[in-house]
A and B are shown apart, each in its own frame.
Chain A
Amino acid sequence: MTPITRTPELEAVVARARQAAREAGELDLPTGPFDSPWVPELQAAVVALLEDGTYDEVVRLIAASDPDLA
C-alpha cells in the first residue's frame, strides 16, 4: 500500500461518522469535577501495579496471545 493522508474519501467518511456520533450523543460528554470513588489505599495499589511493571507484564501476556490487542 502507498501511504496516504487525508483523502477526500476518508474525510467524507469521517464527517459522516462524526455527525452520527453527535446525533447519538457520543460527543456531548458530562463536564465538571470528577471524584473517583476509589479509596486512597486502592488508588495507591493501582499506582503501584502501574509503576512497578506489573500492568505492563499483564498486557504483554494478553498481547502475546492476541495480536489485535498489542
Chain B
Amino acid sequence: MLVVDDALLLRVLGGVAVSSVMAELERGELYTTGVWYHRLSRAAHDDRSVGTLSRELATFDQDVQHYILESLDQLPDRIGLIGWRRLVPVMSVLNVGRNLNLLAAEALAVGLVVGADIGVTTDAPLVREGAATLDLGYRVIRV
C-alpha cells in the first residue's frame, strides 16, 4: 500500500512512474490524497503557474493540450482517494507535537486509514516528521 504525492501521481497518470509504484497500482494498492490531487490540478490550471507548464506543453496542438487537462480532471478509479467524510475525524485527533497543515494532516490520515507507506518525490518535512511519530512508513522515491 502506498500513498503518493502529486508529482508521483502525475507520473502514474502518464504511465512513466518507476516499476515499484506501477506495481502498487496494478495490485490495487495505490492511493493519493485530495490535497495532492488538488495541487496537481492547480499546477495545471492556476493562472500564475499555467504559463510555466504551457511552455513545456506548447509543442503540442490545442487538442492535445486540452486532452492533458481533461485527463487530469478525471482521476481514474484505479487510484484510491479516501473521502473527507472518513478522514476528517482522523485528521482532527492527530497529534504529532506540532501543527499540521492540511496537506500533511490528510496524507497522514490516509496512511493510517489505508495502512500504507507515504511516498513523495521531494522530502516533505511535516509529513516525514508526522509519519515518524505515528510509526508510518515514509519514502522519498527518486525517479
A contacts, CB < 8 Å to B: 1-7, 9-10, 13-14, 16-18, 20-21, 24, 26-39, 41-43, 45-51, 54-59, 61-62, 65, 67-70
Contacts and interface: CB of A to CB of B under 8 A. Distances in A.
B25 A34 contact: yes
A24 B78 CA distance: 15
Contact of A67 (B56, B80, B101, B135): B101
Looking at chain B, what size class is its interface with the partner chain?
Answer: 35 or more
Nearest to A57: B52
27 contacts: A5-B134, A9-B93, A17-B90, A21-B86, A26-B86, A29-B28, A34-B22, A34-B78, A35-B15, A38-B15, A39-B64, A41-B60, A47-B11, A50-B143, A51-B143, A59-B39, A61-B46, A61-B48, A62-B39, A62-B43, A65-B48, A67-B101, A68-B101, A68-B103, A69-B38, A69-B39, A69-B101
Interface string B35-56: 1001100110010110011011
B96 interface: yes
Nearest to A31: B28
B95 A1 contact: yes
A26 B64 contact: no
Contacts of B30: 29
A4 to B, nearest CB: 5
